[in-house]
Amino acid sequence: MSIKPQRGLGAMEPYAPGKSIEAVQREYGLEDIIKLASNENPLGPSPKAVAAIQDALSQLNLYPDSQSCVLRETIAHSLGFDPIQIAVGNGADDIIQQVCLAYLDENSEVLVSRSSFPVYDKFVHTMRATLVKTPLRDYRLDLEAMADAITAKTKLVFVCNPNNPTGTIVTAGEVHTFMDKVPDHVLVIFDEAYYEFVAAAAYPDSLGYLRKGHSNVMTMRTFSKAYGLSGLRLGYAIAAPDVIAPLYQVKGIFTVNLLAQVAGIAAWEDQDFLQKSIEVNRAGLRFFYREFARLGLPYLESHGNFILVNLGPRALNIQQQLLARGIIVRPCNHYDLPEFLRISVGTEVQNARFIVALEEILSKMASGE
């Protein structure tokens, strides 16, 4: 082929999407599939968001508000910021893209951790910027190593907290030490996609830095996880006005659609649903801790709505056998963690079905079948 895509695409790993429910139904001839692979909310979407969408359907002939004014006001006022400090996107993924478009070029370096969210890599490569990765330490982001890796060319640092896929957090103390070392030319982006699920007292208050006048921080969150709106696509970020403004210069004008705007406002106010989601997740994690301990399987304690379990060299084999039983989980070879599977916390029934299947597979393997 003579029409070549731009050079940045050569550095990109092909995206490895999880299998869809439909694909597994077709491939294995199974009806009853459970997907514990994408950290979606097992309770469904916020009912208030669904009602708001139903009310707005008759307006679909109209373009959405390109500024998402009401949505941004809702978020800003509730968090104690000005609406000009709020960015919105077609999912937090879109905000990552906006940040990369707005801040990167061929001379930029971007710092991320190994075994972290792959969407950062994708858009950094698109901009032909240089991706620098530091190793994990004890399955946690190593902020000391990240601080040491900052150079004059570093533009962005992505701190995924809790980290996907490990579920670990960096603490307020670690972030404090880190922020003291970060020079002003570096924007630190706290990706808090799982913020709502975190209960740890040591979890840092990233917005506190902004409140104290730090202009080189951004906090990014999403409606995809605790609010149950993955399919709708809505994410947001909070930062200083001067940091947000360039995002509006590069952003697709109507990327946050009309339904996402009204549903986001309704979901934001649906505290009952949020609390229920958090409780179901907490109970699910406790169940997994107990069951993995009973099965003698090492796991990482999680601050998100998913858990990493270590199945050794047979992890991928076990993942395939789970698929054949209609259970989709996430292999972690693409995250440099080939011995682990990442399991999203489901409903009580789904979690139990996963454990039954896993135990069955393990005992068959043990008996050499």
Ligand X SMILES: *Cc1c(COP(=O)(O)O)cnc(C)c1O
Which residues of this chain interact with ligand X, rule CB under 6 A?
39, 91-93, 117, 160, 164, 191, 193, 222, 224, 230, 235
Report residue 43 CA to chain centroid gap: 18
How far is residue 269 from each of residues 47, 219, 354, measured CA to CA in Å?
A: 11, 20, 33
CB nearer to ligand X: pick between 195 and 354: 195
Least spacing, CB of residue 369 vs ligand X, in Å = 36
Least spacing, CB of residue 40 vs ligand X, in Å = 9
| Burial of 60 from C-beta contacts in 10 A (0-12 / 13-18 / 19+) | exposed
CB nearer to ligand X: pick between 108 and 164: 164
Least spacing, CB of residue 30 vs ligand X, in Å = 26
Report whether 130 contacts 110 (CB < 8 A).
Answer: yes
Least spacing, CB of residue 106 vs ligand X, in Å = 25
What residue number has its CB nearest to ligand X? 91
DSSP letters for 320-363 = HHHHHTTEE-EE-GGGT-TTEEEEE---HHHHHHHHHHHHHHHH
CB nearer to ligand X: pick between 93 and 291: 93
Least spacing, CB of residue 35 vs ligand X, in Å = 14
Handedness of CA 259, 265, 268, 274 (dihedral sign): negative
DSSP type of residue 299: B
The three-state secondary structure class of 145 is helix
Least spacing, CB of residue 336 vs ligand X, in Å = 16
Written as six digits, the tokens of 188 are 């630190």
Least spacing, CB of residue 230 vs ligand X, in Å = 5
CB nearer to ligand X: pick between 191 and 270: 191
CB nearer to ligand X: pick between 64 and 326: 64
Asked if the bond preceding 162 is cis, omega within 30° of 0, the reply is: yes
Least spacing, CB of residue 323 vs ligand X, in Å = 22
CB nearer to ligand X: pick between 64 and 235: 235
Q: Give the whole-angstrom CA distance, residue 59 versus residue 252.
A: 21
Q: Give the whole-angstrom CA distance, residue 143 versus residue 117.
A: 16
Handedness of CA 127, 162, 333, 225 (dihedral sign): negative
Least spacing, CB of residue 45 vs ligand X, in Å = 13
CB nearer to ligand X: pick between 81 and 236: 236
Exposure letters 71-102 (e unless 16+ CB within 10 A, then b):
bbebbbeebebebebbbbbbbbbbbbbbbbbb
CB nearer to ligand X: pick between 28 and 254: 254
Report whether 216 contacts 132 (CB < 8 A).
Answer: no
CB nearer to ligand X: pick between 92 and 267: 92
In this structure, the number of other CB atoms found within 10 A of the CB of residue 9 comes to 12
